[in-house]
Amino acid sequence: MLPCPRHPPRNRRLSAGPPRDPAGRHSSRLDRLAASGNVNERPRHAQCMKAPTKHVICYLTESAGDWGGASRVLFSNLRLIDRSRFEPLVLLPTKGPILPLLDRIAVPYVIWGQAHEPKGILRYTMATAASIRLFRQRRVELLHVNGANYWRPAEILAARLLRIPIVTHYHVVVDKPGPFVRYSDLIVAVSAFTAEASQPKSVPKAVVHNSVVLARFDSARDIRLELDLSPDDVVVSFVGQVRDIKGVD
């Protein structure tokens, strides 16, 4: 492999006959190529160029189904992620209905099991070692935890030991997070209220509203007549679980 030059060669106009200096030598390598007719040879810097490396993001999820809520947000994001820059890897708790979708959009996944909480020092050590091996083999650069329902999972410890940044995704207000949430480099919240009302305050938070795959609504239809609503009626709707934590009032 030829070494990459610090500066690429300047473009030169190739003439019918190579110009010569007073000593009768060809004035440049490109001129010699023009004289020989071999103008398709690439310059040195082109021979050592590599395709851009994709950044591997590992997603740790509690669901293997596109049920709605947190899982819907995650799997919508996977549909919309820029695959020219990022390579997702999903750690699923079990086999489930989401597998055909992941296969269709060519997202790699591993049937990993639930996040491995401490259940004895030996099992916890083995789970941490397995997580380290996986992260190294897959060249993971970021660990995304889709929810805050964790305590001290081995996956978080492994990421910390490897100095892999950790992002925890808050889909609801979390006022009593587990102890390992503080190891997050960033908390992503689905709304400004969720970010402001959640703990811990020591971890920086960013608001990223839920993504929407518009193609899901291509088959939507107007049901105003069925509900005895006129075209001018203002309708306020809520879609989701009716729970106090959702703030429906």
Q: What is the CATH number of the domain that holds 196?
A: 3.40.50.2000
Task: Look up the pTM and report it.
Answer: 0.73
Quick check: is 166 in a domain? yes
Q: How confident is the model at residue 127 (pLDDT cuts 50, 70, 90)?
A: very high
Q: Is the pLDDT of residue 3 over 50?
A: no
Tokens 């310059």, residue located: 43
Quick check: is 191 in a domain? yes
Quick check: is 243 in a domain? no
Q: Is the pLDDT of residue 42 over 70?
A: no
Quick check: is 111 in a domain? yes
Q: For the chain, what is the mean pLDDT?
A: 83
Q: Quick one: which H or E segment has residue 44?
A: helix 44-47
115 contacts 91 by C-beta, under 8 angstroms: no
Specify the number of domains making up the chain.
1
Quick check: is 94 in a domain? yes
Collapse the DSSP code of 55 into the 3-class scheme (helix H, G, I; strand E, B; otherwise coil) and give the result.
strand
Quick check: is 74 in a domain? yes
Quick check: is 78 in a domain? yes
Q: What share of the chain is helix, strand, coil (3-state, %, to 5)?
A: 30, 15, 55
**Which residue, 208, 211, 156, is CA-closest to 181?**
156
Q: How confident is the model at residue 149 (pLDDT cuts 50, 70, 90)?
A: very high
* Residue ranges making up the domain that contains 67: 55-214
203 contacts 187 by C-beta, under 8 angstroms: yes
Quick check: is 140 in a domain? yes
